[in-house]
Amino acid sequence: MEFSLIDRIRERTAQGRDDVRLGIGDDAAVVAPPAGQELAIAIDTLVEGVHFPHGTAPADIGWKSLAVNLSDLAAMGASPAWALLALTLPPQSREQLQAFIDGFAEGFAQLAQPHRLALIGGDTTHGALAVSVAVHGFVPPDQALTRAGARVGDVVLVTGTLGDAAAGLQLLQHGARVGEGDGRAAYLIERLNRPTPRLAAGLALRERATACIDVSDGLLADLGHICEASGLGAEIDAPLLPRSSMLLGAFDDVTARDFALAGGDDYELCFTVPPSLVAEVQADLARMGCGATRIGRMVEGYGVRVRDERGQWLEATHRGWDHFA
Minimum CB distance to ligand ADP, residue 37 (Å):
24
Report the C-alpha gap between 35 and 298 in whole angstroms.
36
User: Residue 41: what are its φ and ψ, rounded to 5°?
Assistant: -130, 135
- DSSP SS3 for 185: helix
Indicate whether 26 belongs to the interface with ligand ADP (CB under 6 A): yes
Closest approach of Cβ 62 to ligand ADP, in Å?
11
Q: How many other C-beta atoms are found inside a 10 Å radius of the C-beta of residue 181?
A: 12
Query: Which of these segments, 24-32, 39-47, 65-73, 199-207, binds Mg ion (CB under 5 A)?
Result: 24-32
The answer to whether residue 1 forms part of the interface with ligand ADP (CB under 6 A) is yes
Measure the CA–CA gap between 18 and 32, rounded to whole angstroms.
8
Looking at 25, 49, 249, 301, which residue binds ligand ADP (CB under 6 A)? 25
Which of the choices Mg ion, ligand ADP, none does residue 122 contact, using the CB cut-off of 5 to 8 A by kind? Answer: ligand ADP
Backbone φ and ψ of 223, nearest 5°: -65, -30
Q: Does 9 participate in binding ligand ADP (rule CB under 6 A)?
A: yes
9 or 221: CB nearest ligand ADP? 9
Q: What is the rounded CA–CA span in Å between residue 265 and residue 143?
A: 26
Query: Is residue 27 a contact point for Mg ion (CB under 5 A)?
Result: yes
Segment near ligand ADP (CB under 6 A), from 120-128, 176-184, 206-214, 231-239?
120-128
Q: Where are the alpha helices (DSSP H) in the chain?
A: 3-12, 58-76, 94-112, 164-173, 184-193, 199-205, 219-230, 245-250, 253-262, 278-287
Q: Which of 121, 168, 296, 320 binds ligand ADP (CB under 6 A)?
A: 121
Taken in order 67, 70, 75, 77, the sign of the CA dihedral is negative
Stretch that binds ligand ADP, among 25-33, 73-81, 151-159, 315-323 (CB under 6 A): 25-33
- Residue 167's binding partner among Mg ion, ligand ADP, none (Cβ under 5 to 8 angstroms by kind) is none
How is 125-184 classified by DSSP, letter by letter?
Answer: EESS-EEEEEEEEEE-TT----SS---TTPEEEEES-SSHHHHHHHHHHTT--TT-TTSH
DSSP 33: P
Which of 84/238 has CB closer to Mg ion?
Answer: 84
Q: Which of ligand ADP, Mg ion, none binds 6 (CB below 5-8 Å, type-dependent)?
A: ligand ADP
> Mask 46-65, x = binds Mg ion (CB under 5 A)?
--------------------
Question: Using the rule CB under 6 A, which residue among 40, 59, 67, 87 binds ligand ADP?
Answer: 87
Asked whether position 123 contacts ligand ADP by CB under 6 A, the answer is: yes
Phi/psi for 324 (5° steps) reads -110, 25
Q: Using CB under 5 A, list all residues that contact Mg ion.
A: 27
- Where does this chain bind ligand ADP (CB under 6 A)? 1, 6, 9, 24-27, 85, 87, 119, 121-124
